[in-house]
């Protein structure tokens, strides 16, 4: 009963959302399955299991994973929120649900998790780095959801993400800066509570903004 009433319609919606993305659907797949492992492996061939490899993993993880984790969500929101997509969904009596957004994000979540499972066999501390990446991804996901519905357009969302990413990479290197996500400092519980928990809370705030703003559509 649950499968027929809820799960099947949900998977059908998710399938058509993904289908509408077209060939661009495969961009995060390339990043997570090919690009990041190749960059890590190149460092491994130079220095083996070393601090340099650890820094390589967390550097490219922070540079690439958060942005591409919300890649599918950006395209799904674009087709829904911007004028043509919104009118289509309005005519057929459908609306974008938060669970659809989470389902699109879930694809990247699974790929990120698999990467960190492999990293965990090399460095025991990687589960804390996994927590760091998930915290940043949650901020990005909330920002995409909230800003897109707030401005009724995907363009301000993309501009905000790009400015935030480049601004963070320019300002920060080794030591964390409040409200900025990038640092090469080894992850710890103290670092999470002092810096990354705030990013999680900001992500939750963005989700709240998006939920409120989305009511203006439906």
Contact 187, 125 (CB under 8 A): yes
Given a cut of 60, is residue 209 above it in pLDDT?
Answer: yes
Q: What is the mean pLDDT of residues 200-214?
A: 92
Cα separation, 161 vs 24, in Å, equals 18
The domain locations on the chain are 2-214
pLDDT tens digits, 33-66: 999 999 999 999 999 999 999 999 999 999 999 9
Cα separation, 155 vs 203, in Å, equals 19
Q: Which pTM was predicted?
A: 0.89
Given a cut of 60, is residue 195 above it in pLDDT?
Answer: yes
**Long-range contacts from 147-153, C-beta under 8 angstroms, 24+ separation:** 147/206, 147/209, 147/210, 148/74, 148/77, 148/78, 148/81, 148/210, 149/77, 149/81, 149/209, 149/210, 149/213, 149/214, 149/216, 149/217, 150/209, 150/210, 150/213, 152/81, 152/82, 153/81, 153/82
Half-sphere exposure of 113 (CA within 13 A, CB side): 6
pLDDT tens digits, 63-122: 999 999 999 999 988 887 865 544 444 434 445 668 888 999 999 999 999 999 999 999
In angstroms, the Cα distances linking 165 to 62, 75, 89 are 9, 19, 32
Contact 16, 102 (CB under 8 A): no
**DSSP letter (8 states) at residue 92:** T
């Amino acid at each position: 009963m649950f499968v027929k009433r809820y799960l099947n319609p949900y998977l059908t919606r998710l399938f058509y959302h993904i289908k509408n993305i077209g060939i661009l659907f495969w961009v995060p797949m390339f990043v997570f399955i090919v690009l990041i492992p190749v960059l890590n492996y190149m460092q491994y061939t130079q220095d083996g299991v070393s601090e340099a490899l650890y820094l390589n993993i967390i550097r490219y993880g922070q540079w690439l994973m958060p942005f591409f984790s919300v890649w599918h969500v950006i395209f799904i929101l674009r087709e829904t929120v911007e004028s043509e997509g919104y009118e289509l969904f309005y005519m057929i009596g459908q609306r974008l649900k938060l669970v659809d957004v989470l389902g699109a994000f879930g694809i990247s979540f699974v790929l990120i998790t698999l990467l960190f499972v492999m990293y965990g066999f090399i460095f025991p501390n990687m589960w804390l780095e996994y927590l760091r990446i998930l915290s940043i991804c949650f901020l990005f996901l909330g920002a995409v959801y909230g800003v897109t519905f707030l401005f009724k357009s995907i363009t301000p969302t993309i501009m905000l993400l790009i400015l935030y990413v480049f601004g963070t990479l320019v300002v920060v290197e080794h030591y964390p800066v409040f409200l900025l996500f990038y640092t090469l400092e080894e992850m710890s519980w103290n670092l999470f509570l002092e810096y990354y928990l705030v990013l999680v809370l900001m992500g939750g705030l963005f989700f709240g903004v998006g939920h409120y703003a989305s009511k203006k559509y439906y």
